[in-house]
C-alpha cells in the first residue's frame, strides 16, 4: 500500500486538530475533522490487519520492530478516536462528567506519538541520519567542552563577585556566585545585550571592563568556537565513515550477485575466485561500471591479473578478499 500521500494528509489533519484551540474533544470538533479522524483510524487499522495477516506465523510479528511500533500507535489511535469518545457519550456526553479529565487530556496528547511513523523517512534521507549520528558521536567531546566552559565561568564568577563586592554594579549583576555565573553566561558568552553590562562596569571602574572583555575573549570567542569546530570535525568524520560503509555495502551487493551469476557461491564458508572467474567478471560492462563508481581503475586491475594470481595462473583467491 502506498502510504506517503496518506501520511502527509494525516499530518495536515493532525496539525489542524491540534492548533485549533476550540477542539476540546473529538465529538465537539467540526464534522470535517471527525470524518478525517475516523477515516485515518479505519485506514491504519486495516493496514495493520493486512500486515498481521501477511505473517505466515503470527508470533513472528513480535520480531518486527516497525510492526510493534505501529501496533502501539494504532492502539493509541483507536483508544483516542473511538474508545474515549464512546466513554464520553456513555457518561452523558459532557466532558465534565468524567472524574479525571487530566487522564483524557494525556490520552489525547498521545496522538503526537503517531508522528513516529515519519521516522521511516530517515531511511530515505541518509544525510539526516549522518547528522544524527554525528551529534551522537560528538556527545562526549561536547560534554567536556561545556564542562570547560562551566569551569571558566565559575572562576570568573568568583572573581567578579569579589572585585565588585560593595558596589552598585555588584549588587545589580554580581550579588552572588551563582548570579555572577548567570550574568557572565548571558552577557559574556551568549552576548545578549552586552553593551548594558559593559556600560555599568565602565561607570564603576575601567579595570572591570578589561576583565570582562578577557572573559568574553576566552569564553565566547575561544571555547564556543572550539565547540563549533569539534562538532564540524566529528560530523565530517562520521560522514566519511558512513559514505565508506555505504560504498562498501553497495559494492558487496553488486559483486555478490555477479559472483553468483558466474558460478561462485558467495554464501559458502570460504568462497574462492580464480583467474578465469575474474576475467569473466571483467568482461561484463556492469562489473566495470560498478568498480569504476567505487574508485577502482579497471585498466590497472586488468594489467595486474597475472601478478595477482602469480605464480600459478590457476591459483584461486578468496572471494571475501574481493567483496570486502
In this predicted structure, the answer to whether residue 158 has a pLDDT above a threshold of 90 is yes
In this predicted structure, the answer to whether residue 218 has a pLDDT above a threshold of 90 is yes
DSSP string, 181-216: HHHIIIIIIS-SSHHHHHHHHHHH-HHHHHHHHHHH
Cα torsion angle, 297, 299, 303, 308, sign: positive
Question: What is residue 113's predicted lDDT score, i.e. its pLDDT?
Answer: 57
In this predicted structure, the answer to whether residue 166 has a pLDDT above a threshold of 60 is yes
Q: What whole-number distance in Å separates Cα of residue 147 and Cα of residue 59? A: 48
In this predicted structure, the answer to whether residue 318 has a pLDDT above a threshold of 50 is no
Query: pLDDT band at residue 17, thresholds of 50, 70 and 90?
Result: low
Q: Residues 251-260: what's their mean pLDDT?
A: 75
Candidate from 10-14, 176-180, 185-189 with smallest mean pLDDT: 10-14
Ranges 121-130, 152-161, 254-263, 295-304, most confident:
152-161
- List the beta bridge partners of residue 316: 274
In this predicted structure, the answer to whether residue 319 has a pLDDT above a threshold of 50 is no
Candidate from 31-35, 173-177, 211-215, 314-318 with smallest mean pLDDT: 314-318
Q: Residues 93-100: what's their mean pLDDT?
A: 47
Other beta carbons within 10 angstroms of residue 127's beta carbon come to 9
Q: What whole-number distance in Å separates Cα of residue 233 and Cα of residue 212? A: 30
In this predicted structure, the answer to whether residue 101 has a pLDDT above a threshold of 50 is no
Question: What is residue 97's predicted lDDT score, i.e. its pLDDT?
Answer: 45
Question: What is residue 284's predicted lDDT score, i.e. its pLDDT?
Answer: 80
**Residue carrying the nine cell digits 467540526:** 30
Please give the mean pLDDT across all residues of the chain.
77
> Rounded to 5 degrees, what angle do the CA atoms 41, 43, 44 make?
70
Q: Any idea where the domains of the chain sit in the sequence?
A: 4-124, 136-239, 262-323
Q: What whole-number distance in Å separates Cα of residue 195 and Cα of residue 201? A: 10
In this predicted structure, the answer to whether residue 187 has a pLDDT above a threshold of 80 is yes
Q: Residues 130-151: what's their mean pLDDT?
A: 88
CATH topology of domain 136-239: Helix Hairpins (1.10.287)
* pTM to 2 decimal places: 0.55
In this predicted structure, the answer to whether residue 18 has a pLDDT above a threshold of 70 is no
* Residues in the chain, overall count: 324
Q: What whole-number distance in Å separates Cα of residue 155 and Cα of residue 157? A: 5
Query: pLDDT band at residue 30, thresholds of 50, 70 and 90?
Result: low
Q: What whole-number distance in Å separates Cα of residue 64 and Cα of residue 161? A: 59
In this predicted structure, the answer to whether residue 2 has a pLDDT above a threshold of 70 is no
Amino acid at each position: 500500500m502506498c502510504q506517503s500521500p496518506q501520511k502527509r494528509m494525516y499530518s495536515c489533519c493532525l496539525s489542524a486538530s491540534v492548533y485549533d484551540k476550540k477542539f476540546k474533544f473529538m465529538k465537539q470538533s467540526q464534522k470535517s475533522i471527525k470524518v478525517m479522524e475516523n477515516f485515518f483510524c479505519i485506514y491504519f487499522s486495516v493496514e495493520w490487519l493486512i500486515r498481521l495477516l501477511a505473517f505466515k506465523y503470527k508470533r513472528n510479528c513480535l520480531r518486527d520492530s516497525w510492526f510493534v511500533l505501529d501496533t502501539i500507535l494504532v492502539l493509541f489511535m483507536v483508544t483516542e478516536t473511538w474508545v474515549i469518545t464512546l466513554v464520553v457519550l456513555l457518561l452523558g456526553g459532557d466532558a465534565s462528567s468524567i472524574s479525571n479529565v487530566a487522564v483524557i487530556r494525556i490520552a489525547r496528547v498521545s496522538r503526537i506519538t503517531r508522528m513516529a511513523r515519519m521516522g521511516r523517512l530517515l531511511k530515505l534521507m541518509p544525510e539526516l541520519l549522518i547528522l544524527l549520528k554525528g551529534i551522537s558521536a560528538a556527545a562526549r567531546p561536547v560534554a567536556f567542552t561545556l564542562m570547560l566552559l562551566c569551569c571558566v565561568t565559575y572562576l570568573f564568577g568568583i572573581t567578579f563577585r569579589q572585585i565588585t563586592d560593595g558596589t552598585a554594579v555588584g549588587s545589580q549583576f554580581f550579588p552572588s556566585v551563582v548570579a555572577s555565573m548567570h550574568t557572565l553566561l548571558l552577557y559574556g558568552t551568549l552576548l545578549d545585550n552586552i553593551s548594558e553590562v559593559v556600560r555599568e562596569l565602565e561607570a564603576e571602574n575601567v579595570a572591570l571592563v578589561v576583565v570582562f572583555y578577557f572573559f568574553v575573549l576566552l569564553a565566547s570567542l575561544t571555547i564556543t568556537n572550539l565547540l563549533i569546530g569539534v562538532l564540524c570535525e566529528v560530523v565530517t568524520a562520521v560522514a566519511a565513515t558512513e559514505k565508506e560503509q555505504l560504498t562498501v555495502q553497495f559494492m558487496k551487493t553488486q559483486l555478490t550477485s555477479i559472483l553468483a551469476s558466474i558460478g561462485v557461491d558467495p554464501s559458502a564458508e570460504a568462497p574462492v575466485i580464480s583467474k578465469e572467474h575474474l576475467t569473466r567478471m571483467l568482461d561484463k560492462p556492469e562489473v566495470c561500471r560498478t568498480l569504476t563508481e567505487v574508485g577502482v581503475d579497471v585498466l590497472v586491475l586488468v594489467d595486474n591479473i597475472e601478478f595477482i594470481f602469480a605464480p600459478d595462473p590457476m591459483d584461486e583467491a578468496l572471494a571475501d578478499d574481493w567483496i570486502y
